[in-house]
Amino acid sequence: MTKNDIVQKLWNQCDILRDDGINYSHYVTELVLLLFMKMENEQVLNQSVTYDHRLPEGCRWADLRKLSGVNLLDTYKRILLTLSSGKDADGKTVVTDPLILAIYNDAQTSLREPKHLEQLIKNLDQIDWFSAQQDGLGDLYEGLLEKNANETKSGAGQYFTPRPLIDSIIRCIKPQPGETIQDPAAGTAGFLIAADSYIKSNTDDLYDLSAKEQKRQRKECYIGIELVPDTRRLALMNCLLHGMEGDAEGVVHLGNALGQAGENLKPSTIILSNPPFGTAKGGGNTTRVFTYKTSNKQLTFLQHIYNGLKPGGRAAVVLPDNVLFEAGVGTDVRRDLMDKCNLHTILRLPTGIFYAQGVKTNVLFFTRGETDEGNTKKVWVYDLRNNMPSFGKRTPFGEEHLKPFEKVYGKKADGTSKRTEGEWSFTSEDSEQSADNSRWRCFDRDWIRDTKGDSLDISWIKDKDSVDAADLPEPDELAAKAMGELTEALRELDGLLSALCCSDKAAAQKTMLAEVLGIGAEVGE
C-alpha cells in the first residue's frame, strides 16, 4: 500500500465526521487530534530503539480502543481535557511535556455520537501501518495536510505551499547543518520540514553529525511563527512526527511575526516563507516599528525578512505581483531590499498553482550583504508564467516544470554561479530561439532604476494568446463591428421573444431602446 493510498483512507474518515455534523473546514483539525494519538502509539511499537510514550498513561491509544459507547466518548473528552490542561480529574499534574501541552492546547471534540468515534478508531486500526512506517509517519501526516489544502474550500491552501515548489526552492537554497532556518509565516511548517529533510538526506539522517550537533539540529536550528492556533497545532504535530522538537514552545511559536513575536527573533542564516496574501489589510502594527510603514502585509513581511537575515544570509520568499510593482512605499521597500541585499533571482510562477485561482506570484531569492548599500548589481529573471499550461487538477504543477529553472540557477546557493542568458525548455520546436522567447534573462540594476522606476514586474515574452495593440483595426472599425454584432444579437432576441409568444414584451423593449438611441424606427424592423 502506497502513501497516497493510506492518505486517501485517512481522508475518507472525514465522511464519518460529516455524518456527525462537523463542519467541512474542521475535518482535519478534528481528525488529527485522534490521529496523533495513533501515530504516537505506532512510533512506540515499531521503533528499533527504545521510544518512550510522550502521552501519559490513561491518555494513550490503547486506553481508547478497548472502550465503546458513551463510555468511549466520555473518556475521549476527558483525555483531551487532561492533555490540554496537563492535569487529571483530581488536579494532579500528569503532563509535563511542553510540546504535548502546546499541541493539545484548548483541544476539544465536536463529536456527538459515540458510534462515530468508535468507527473512527476501528478504521484507523485497520490501516496498514507497516507501510506507513516505511514512508515515515511524518510524510504520511503531511500528505493528509496537502490533501486538505487541495480538496477543501476552507482556504487551507493559503498556508500550504505546493510541495514541488518548496522542494525546488530548498534545492536552490541548499540548507546546511547548523544553519538557523526561519519561517515567519510557518503555516503547517512545510518549508522547515523540507529543509530538515534535505539536511537529513545529506547527512545520513544526521548520523554524520556529532551527538551535540544532532541535538542542536533537532532543538535549535528551526524556528517558525504562526498566527492561527489550529494551524500551529497542525504544524507542531508535523514537526514532532518528523523528529523536530524545537525549544520549550516547539518549532513553531504562536504569535504575529509583524509584532512582538517577530521582533524577538534572532537574525537567521536562512529565511524561507510564503507570507499570507489575499488581503492587504493588517500590515500596520503598533507594537513594532518598520522603516517603511504600510498597510500592505506582504511589504511588511518582506521588510521583516530581509532585515532578519545575518550578513551573508540567504532568503527565498513567495510574493504576489503587487509587491513587485506597487508604487510609493512599495518602491521604497524594493530599493531598500536591493541596497541591503543582493536580489539575484526572480522566479515568475505560473497561475493556478495556489488555492486562489488567478493569483500571480513570484519567488524572490536574495542574499544579505555585508553592508547596507548597493548590494544588487543585476537581477536574473526566469519567466515560468507566459505561454505555460493552465495548471490545476487536470494539469498538475510538478517537479518537471521547475528543473530547467534549477539548472540555470546554478549550484551555488547564494546565486553567484556563472550564468548565461537563454533557456527554451518550454518553447515549441518550430520556434526560433531568441532573447525574446528565452525564459532566462539578466537585467542591470541601473536599467531597473532608470527604465522601470525600480519596479520588478519584468516581463518580455509575448503571450501567444495576447493581442498586439499595433495589429488592432482603427477605432471606428472596431466600433462599427461592435454595433453590427449588437444589432444582430438584438434581432435574434426579438425572434426568440416572438417564438415564445411574447411579441408585446418585445415591442415594448424595442420602443424603449429606440427612445434611448434617439431614433424613430423600432429596432429589428
Highest mean pLDDT among 96-110, 278-292, 301-315, 477-491: 301-315
CATH topology of domain 3-147: Ferritin (1.20.1260)
Question: In 370-393, which positions are buried (b, 16+ CB within 10 angstroms) versus exposed (e)?
Answer: eeeeebbeebbbbbbbbbbeebee
Q: Please list, in sequence order, all residues whose beta carbon lies within 8 angstroms of the beta carbon of residue 28, skipping any fewer than 6 positions away.
A: 14, 144, 145, 148, 156, 234
Three-state DSSP class for residue 241? helix
Three-state DSSP class for residue 239? helix
Q: Which residue has the higher pLDDT, 154 or 178?
A: 178
CA dihedral 139, 144, 146, 150 (to 10 degrees): 160
> How many Cβ atoms are within 10 Å of 110's Cβ, its own excluded?
12
Q: Report the alpha-carbon distance of residue 142 to residue 135 in Å, rounded.
A: 11
Q: Report the alpha-carbon distance of residue 62 to residue 55 in Å, rounded.
A: 11
Per-residue pLDDT for 520 more than 70? Answer: no
Strand partners, 315: 271, 366
Q: Which residue has the higher pLDDT, 292 or 517?
A: 292
Looking up cell 473518556, which residue turns up? 75
Confidence of residue 194 (pLDDT cuts 50, 70, 90): very high
- Give the H/E segment covering residue 229: helix 229-241
Alpha carbons within 13 A on the beta-carbon side of 293: 6
Cα dihedral sign, 510-512-515-517: negative
Q: Report the alpha-carbon distance of residue 402 to residue 217 in Å, rounded.
A: 29
Q: Report the alpha-carbon distance of residue 419 to residue 440 in Å, rounded.
A: 10
Under CATH, which number does the domain 155-450 receive? Answer: 3.40.50.150
- pLDDT (average), residues 135-153: 73
Amino acid at 253: H
Looking up cell 494532579, which residue turns up? 92
- pLDDT (average), residues 70-76: 96
Question: In 121-149, which positions are buried (b, 16+ CB within 10 angstroms) versus exposed (e)?
Answer: beebeebebeebbebebbbbbbbbbbbbb
> How many Cβ atoms are within 10 Å of 208's Cβ, its own excluded?
12
Highest mean pLDDT among 233-247, 262-276, 385-399, 480-494: 262-276
pLDDT of residue 53: 84
- pLDDT (average), residues 378-383: 97
Q: What is the mean pLDDT of the chain?
A: 86
245: nearest Cα among 99, 103, 101: 99
Per-residue pLDDT for 137 more than 70? Answer: yes
Q: Please list, in sequence order, all residues whose beta carbon lies within 8 angstroms of the beta carbon of residue 314, skipping any fewer than 6 positions away.
A: 173, 269, 270, 271, 365, 366, 367, 368, 413, 414
Three-state DSSP class for residue 442? strand
Confidence of residue 218 (pLDDT cuts 50, 70, 90): very high
185: nearest Cα among 326, 346, 315: 315
Chain-centre distance for alpha carbon 351: 14
Per-residue pLDDT for 282 more than 70? Answer: no
- Give the H/E segment covering residue 137: helix 137-151
CA dihedral 97, 103, 105, 108 (to 10 degrees): -120
Confidence of residue 136 (pLDDT cuts 50, 70, 90): confident
Going from the C-alpha of 364 to that of each of 93, 290, 449, the distances in angstroms are: 48, 20, 18
- Taking only Cα atoms into account, the Rg of the chain, rounded to an integer number of angstroms, comes to 28
Q: Please list, in sequence order, all residues whose beta carbon lies within 8 angstroms of the beta carbon of residue 21, skipping any fewer than 6 positions away.
A: 110, 112
- pLDDT (average), residues 207-213: 96
Chain-centre distance for alpha carbon 384: 18
pLDDT of residue 154: 46
- pLDDT (average), residues 283-299: 79
